[in-house]
Amino acid sequence: MTGFKTAVYVGPVYEGVPLSLEAYDALEDEDWVKVEGLTAMSAFGESYQEVRAPTYDDDVEQVGKGTANAGTLNLTYNLLPGRPGQAALAAAVADTQNRYHFKVEFPDKPPGEGSKPTRRYFAAAALGAPEDPSQINGAITGQTALALTTKVVKGAKLAGS
């Protein structure tokens, strides 16, 4: 599978309680707005802080896992004024009081009614939307960093009927 046609969606305001896969999947299609014009996105997901514990008694330093950091999903997109997904992303950036649910869908949806592609759900704070007009022969782009504030809920692709 390639990343071509991977999609990112802005969802409803995060109410402070992480959702299960079943709860995310139960949200209506109207609850999600696709971000149009994506040209690049970064890796995202949990990684853990390294905790080191050297002692005089051990000849090998002990290493453990500390707290998780869910990471940041960096999005780059061609600016497309008036598009609903970019407007929803801009609204999430402008809203300093709330975090939002986001969905990433991989391009592997099987055929059939009720099928679902591989998907990732999480809540995040949208941290900004700088614009880059620096390319003489290129599109003006926007960039938004989504700082994940929950663990990533993973859904495997599901075949439909």
pLDDT band at 3 (very low <50, low <70, confident <90, very high): confident
Q: What is the pLDDT of residues 90-147, one digit of tens each?
A: 999 999 999 999 999 999 999 999 899 999 999 999 999 999 999 999 999 999 999 9
Q: Does position 161 have pLDDT exceeding 80, yes or no?
A: no
pLDDT of residue 1 exceeding 80, the answer is: no
Q: What is the DSSP letter of 152?
A: P
The stretch 8-20 carries a mean pLDDT of: 94
22-79 residue pLDDT tens? 999 999 989 999 999 999 999 999 999 999 988 888 889 989 999 999 999 999 999 9
Cα angle 158, 45, 130 (rounded to 5 degrees) comes to 110
Supply the pLDDT for residue 79.
Answer: 95
Tell me how far apart the alpha carbons of residues 77 and 87 are, in angstroms, rounded to a whole number.
13
The CATH number given to 7-45+73-155 is: 2.30.110
Every domain of the chain and the residues it spans:
7-45+73-155
Judge contact between 148 and 161, C-beta under 8 A: no
Residues paired with residue 153 on neighbouring β-strands, in sequence order: 121
From 15-19, 68-72, 83-87, 150-154, the region with the lowest mean pLDDT: 15-19
- What is the residue-averaged pLDDT of the chain? 94
pTM exceeds 0.75, yes or no: yes
Cα 133 to Cα 141: distance, rounded to the nearest angstrom: 7
First to last CA, the chain: 22
